[in-house]
Chain A
Amino acid sequence: MKLKKSLAMAPAAIFAPILAHAQEAPVAEGAFASVEALGALNVEMVFIFNTLLFLLGGILVFWMAAGFTMLEAGFVRSKNVTIQLSKNVGLFAIAAVLYYLIGFNLMYPGEGWLVDGWLGTPGPAVLEAVGITAAGAVDVGYASVGSDFFFQLMFCATTASIVSGTLAERIRLNAFFVFVVVLTALVYPVQASWTWGGGFLDAAGFSDFAGSTIVHSVGGWAALVGALVLGPRIGKYGADGKVNPIPGSNLALATLGMFILWMGWFGFNGASQLAMGTISDVADVSRIFANTNAAAAAGALAALILTQMLFGKADLTLMLNGALGGLVAITAEPLTPGLGMATLIGAIGGGIVVFAVPLLDRLRIDDVVGAVPVHLFAGIWGTLAVVLTNDGASIGAQLYGIVVIGGFVVITTGITWLAIKAVMGLRVAPEAEVSGLDKTELGMDAYPEFTRG
Chain B
Amino acid sequence: MKFIIAAIKPFKLEEVREALTAIGVRGLMVTEIKGFGAQSGHTEIYRGAEYAVNYVPKVKLEIAVSDGLADQVAETLQRVARTGKIGDGKVFVLDLEQALRVRTGEAGDDAL
Contacts and interface: CB of A to CB of B under 8 A. Distances in A.
B46 A358 contact: no
B68 interface: no
B102 interface: no
Contacts of B51: 244-245
B29 interface: no
Given A318-B48, A358-B47, A361-B48, 12 more contacts: A243-B49, A245-B44, A245-B46, A245-B47, A247-B46, A310-B48, A311-B48, A312-B45, A315-B45, A315-B46, A358-B48, A361-B47
Interface string A180-196: 00000000000000000
Interface of A: 243-245, 247, 310-313, 315, 317-318, 354, 357-358, 361, 370
A72 to B, nearest CB: 15
A311 B45 CA distance: 7
A244 B52 CA distance: 9
A357 B46 contact: no
A179 B46 CA distance: 31
Give me the 5 closest cross-chain CB pairs, A-B, nearest first. Answer: A358-B48, A245-B46, A243-B49, A311-B45, A245-B51
15 contacts: A243-B48, A243-B50, A244-B51, A245-B44, A245-B51, A310-B48, A315-B46, A317-B46, A354-B48, A357-B48, A358-B47, A358-B49, A361-B47, A361-B48, A361-B49
A298 B63 CA distance: 55
A383 to B, nearest CB: 25
Contacts of A247: 46
Contacts of A311: 45, 48
A313 B49 contact: no
A354 B51 CA distance: 18
Nearest to A244: B51
B4 to A, nearest CB: 27
A370 B51 CA distance: 19
Nearest to A355: B48
Q: Kindly name the residue among B45, B46, B48, B49 whose own CB sees the greatest number of chain A CB atoms within 10 A.
A: B48
A311 B46 CA distance: 9
A313 B48 CA distance: 10
Contacts of B45: 311-313, 315
B49 A318 contact: no
Interface in B47-83: 47-51
Nearest to B46: A245
A268 B44 CA distance: 37
A311 B48 CA distance: 7
A357 B51 CA distance: 16
A370 B49 contact: no
Contacts of A357: 47-48
Contacts of B46: 245, 247, 315, 317
A317 B49 CA distance: 13
Nearest to A248: B46
Contacts of A354: 48
A354 B45 CA distance: 13
A317 B47 CA distance: 7
A368 to B, nearest CB: 10
Q: Kindly name the residue among B46, B47, B49 whose own CB sees the greatest number of chain A CB atoms within 10 A.
A: B47
Nearest to A358: B48
Nearest to A247: B46
A312 B47 CA distance: 12
Q: Kindly name the residue among A245, A312, A357, A358 whose own CB sees the greatest number of chain B CB atoms within 10 A.
A: A245
B47 A370 contact: yes
Contacts of B50: 243
B51 to A, nearest CB: 5
B47 to A, nearest CB: 5
Contacts of B49: 243-245, 358, 361
A310 B50 CA distance: 12
A354 B48 CA distance: 8
Interface string B18-47: 000000000000000000000000001111
A202 to B, nearest CB: 38
Nearest to A367: B47
A310 B47 CA distance: 11
A315 B47 CA distance: 7
A370 B48 CA distance: 12
A243 B51 CA distance: 8
Nearest to B49: A243
B50 to A, nearest CB: 8
Q: Kindly name the residue among B44, B45, B50 whose own CB sees the greatest number of chain A CB atoms within 10 A.
A: B45
A430 B50 CA distance: 25
Contacts of B44: 245
A315 B45 CA distance: 8
B90 to A, nearest CB: 26
Contacts of B47: 245, 315, 317-318, 357-358, 361, 370
A361 B46 CA distance: 12
A364 B102 CA distance: 56
A233 to B, nearest CB: 13
A312 B42 CA distance: 14
A312 B48 CA distance: 10
A305 to B, nearest CB: 15
A312 to B, nearest CB: 7
B92 to A, nearest CB: 26
